[in-house]
A and B are shown apart, each in its own frame.
Chain A
Amino acid sequence: MTWAPLVSMSNLGVVISLAVIGGGLLWLLYRSLLAKEVDRRVIFLFILVSVAAPLLFPMTFEEQATPVVKAIFDKIESLPEGSRVLISFDFDPAMAPEVQPMANVVTQHCMVKGHKVIFMCLFATGQALLTQSLELIVSEQFPDKVDGIDYVNIGYKAGNEGVLNVIVSDFKKMFPTDVNSVPYDSIGVFKGIRSCKDLDMVFTIGGGKPGVKEWVLFVGDPGRVPVAGGVAAVVAPQMYPYYPKQLFGIMGGIKGAAEYESELRKTYPQFHDVDAPGLRMMGPQTLAHMVIMAFIVLGNVSFIVQKRRDRRRKR
């Protein structure tokens, strides 16, 4: 992460926002030194300002892809054109702000590389988000891609892990048609594909159950299929033990999405003018994290001051 935008800040809004937050924190430091309590609503207000200010006055940072994220990028990059990639949207609207940028950026990458993509979801509410991504990425940015030949949307199927347990050996049994009721055998993308074992890789995005873990348990390990995951930040630490043997790459939270977007922009400059929500959200993330860290320090200062004061009273 480089700090160039902060050093050469010409945006008055950013300066004012930082001054407000910094001034407020100094006032809280003064209160902490006096060992006075801070109302929890003051903390909420600080978080609101630190998130809202970088959205109103954009603040972006350049990201460097970490090995866990780079592994996914390199895998998609190294696959020959026309490889079969499955992207599963296993999330709901509650997780979408965090994980949908991952789904979008991987879709962009697969499309620009000319891979054949199969889209599906294990969450009922993921269907609408999948349609949204297809409209935003495939229809708008890749209008020459043809449904059924370059990609296919097989949609949602109820059954959670049961669905995975079936498609690891037989796709058609669970998905006899795509979302437009086109029979399995008539879909070009499925030519030569009988089960998940015939896929070149699976990228699953989620944060709940069924999610990335279920893909590892029911498809990746038994079928020896290369699986990578984009996960909500809350679940990311639980997924790291599976890396690199059972998950060849992980995108954890919005930071993972931002790293991937940055890598895609470096390799394919045509995406420089395309919206990158991951990178856009790193401004509020950074500022909010700095505020939270400041609060941890202030809390400890207040605690130490209070402790010393109590000791003196006892004497």
Chain B
Amino acid sequence: MKRSSVIILSVVVLLFLASWLWKASTLSSDPGIVNAWGQAFGITLAAFLTLAILSFLYRDNPFYKFAEHLFVGVSAAFWMVMGFWSTIVGNLVPRLSEGLSSFFKVPFDRFAVNYFYFIPVILGILLLLRLSRDAGWIARWPLAFIVGTTAGLNFIRYLRSDFIEQVSSTFVPLLVGWQGFGHFLDNLDLSATGQLALTVGNWVISLGVFCGLVYFFFSKAHTGVFGAASRVGIWVLMITFGASFGYTVMGRISLLVGRITFLFKDWLGLIS
């Protein structure tokens, strides 16, 4: 290890200890807080890990790598433990065995007992055979079962909600509440829920969907009127991507606000 690295590491460790000490003394003054040292350690560690991740914006460094690896390791362990306790203990055990239910301290559901649940147990064990070089091929059977059932289940749902319902949602009235031009001008409402806005909105939906579909129709050359509709389709797609980008920026800024609020409020106590 380089001398400069040792110095930087020492400084970070000293800063961590100083921050922990300061946070613990701050929290100790609040009589409502139990285990101030433990809480102070948690907050300080979270703050330093946040800073370690953010340090990547400057450039790649060992602190970032440490935080990243720690996150991956903790996540893997967390999901393994959660998988056991929520799926095997939470869903399977109470429906199979009273003895195991009392061992794991989960309420046994005698009305839900069904020995068909042994089938997923066997399939689950077969899935683990992937770890064996000789018997690994057997793992393809439970995998095929998972793929088949998921595809079957989703096929119906997606066909109904993402195709039929979406097609029916495209058939919108192009003249909303139309009672003649005179009535329209007399009751002109420019609000977002007014007749004009709803009519324009429905035109945008109908033309947008039509032109978007034209753009993806490749069996005819995109020339003339067809080409013009296709170019409108590109514009519709570009506006959609722009809206997505705008929303993504908002989402990412919200997450940054969340982290900075944590640093300023929970760690440094700068804001109430």
Interfacial residues, chain A to chain B (CB-CB below 8 A): 41, 44, 47-48, 51-52, 55-56, 66-67, 94, 96-98, 124, 156-159, 161, 165, 173, 176-177, 181, 216-218, 220-222, 232-234, 236-237, 241-242, 245-246, 252-255, 281, 284-285, 288-289, 292
Contact with A along B44-79 (1 / 0, CB 8 A): 000000000000011000000000000000000001
Given contacts A51-B260, A158-B86, contact A217 B251 (CB under 8 A): no
* CB contact under 8 A between A158 and B91, given known A97-B255, A176-B107, A285-B257: yes
Docked pose: A284 CA to B107 CA in angstroms: 48
Q: Which 8 A-B pairs have the closest CB atoms?
A: A97-B258, A233-B251, A158-B86, A98-B254, A233-B247, A217-B157, A233-B250, A158-B87
- Chain B interface helix/strand/loop/mixed: helix
Chain A residue numbers with a CB within 8 Å of B91 are: 157-159
Q: How far is the CA of A221 from the CA of B166 in the complex (A)?
A: 11
Check B247–A234 contact: CB distance below 8 A: yes
Q: Does B264 contact A (CB under 8 A)?
A: yes
B261 at the interface (CB under 8 A from A): yes
Q: Most chain-A Cβ atoms within 10 A of its Cβ — which of B160, B162, B247?
A: B247
Measured between beta carbons, the chain A residues less than 8 angstroms from B247 are 233-234, 236-237, 252-253
Given A222-B160, A285-B250, check contact A98 B271 (CB 8 Å): no
- Besides A51-B253, A289-B250, 11 more A-B contacts (Cβ < 8 Å) are A47-B253, A55-B257, A94-B255, A98-B254, A157-B91, A158-B87, A176-B109, A218-B157, A222-B160, A246-B165, A253-B247
Chain A interface mostly: helix
Question: Contact flags (1/0) for B229-264 with A, using CB distance below 8 Å?
Answer: 000000000001001100111110111111111001
The CA of A157 and the CA of B257, in the complex, are separated in Å by 31
Count, chain B residues at interface, CB 8 A: 46
CA distance A222 to B158 in the complex (A): 11
A246 to B158, CA, bound (A): 13
Whether B271 pairs with A55 at a CB distance below 8 angstroms is yes
Cα distance, A29 to B131, chains bound together (Å)? 59
